[in-house]
Amino acid sequence: MASEMLTSSEYIKHHLQNLTFGRLHDGSWGIAHGAEQVKEMGFWAIHLDTLAFSVGLGILFLFLFRLAARRATAGVPGGLQNFVEWVVEFIDGTVRGSFSGRNPLVAPLALTIFVWIFLMNLMDLLSVDHVPTIAHAAGVPFLKVVPTTDPNVTFGMALAVFALILFYSVKIKGLGGFLGELTLQPFQAGSWPMRLVFLLPNLFLETVNLIAKPISLALRLFGNMYAGEMIFILIAVMYGAGWLFGSFAGLLQLGWAIFHVLIVTLQAFIFMTLTVVYLDMAHQEHH
């Protein structure tokens, strides 16, 4: 959608609006055509664009790695096999350096998280106008192509990691050991009366520390990608301000796109690394 068709404020709001499906004010179900209708839908609304792109990119990840596995050869490897082997070796080395326990789930989980988030982040390098314009011509009112700019995705992944942290904390340490970890540190005492005194402060501090893990995972990824998308949108607005600002916007867009490649990769790596570290902490027993 060309920026000259809308005011700058309307253009920005349009590009930040998800394709939302839910129950409208009149009781019918349908797609929202504005922020007011999205507000009417409430909590149970579904972001169709986020769902489609995240699932589609997950299928693409599985397809490419499955294809590389089927075509793997002991001879001279092709480009896809080289790339997949490099990614697997990189993730394997990272997990070995960060995870001290023994769990066959951690390395595949780390690989899935890194590649999936990287692919979702990489969508931010597409033009902010081209795909939404094509969708608009097909009758789709809104379309956001970067799933990680939607907090539903980042919090969904973070809560899945949080569930694994709780599961392995209880499985490895036992329910008593896990509760003891929450109530007997960081303030420690030798006598039971003093342990009871420190119980509530310890429980408060450790609970905050535990809950902060999924929140920090989700907000870090969402905040960085949302800010990156916003900068691309603001640069796109400059194209409608004449040839001078348009030329400057072209240079800014190129520079930001090159720099954003680093952000796209780094955010996927950070989410993956912190997941491995948190799971390692869940596997450690404190005595």
Q: Which residues are catalytic?
A: 216, 220, 224
Half-sphere exposure of 96 (CA within 13 A, CB side): 6
**Angle (deg, nearest 10), helices 79-98 and 106-122:** 120
Q: What is the DSSP letter of 98?
A: H
The CB-side HSE value for 286 (13 A sphere, CA atoms) comes to 17
- What are the φ/ψ torsions at residue 196 (nearest 5 degrees)? -65, -35
3-state secondary structure (DSSP) of residue 20: strand
**CB 264, CB 122: distance < 8 Å:** yes
**Got the DSSP string for 132-199?**
HHHHHHTT-S-----GGGSHHHHHHHHHHHHHHHHHHHHHHHHHHHHHHHHHS-SS--SSHHHHHHHH
Among the listed residues 1, 15, 6, 10, the one whose alpha carbon sits nearest the alpha carbon of residue 146: 15
Cβ contact 145:128 at 8 Å: no
First-to-last C-alpha distance (Å) of the chain: 60
Q: Classify residue 97 by burial, with Cβ atoms within 10 Å: 0-12, 13-18, 19+.
A: exposed
CA distances from 258 to 77, 189, 204 (A): 29, 54, 44
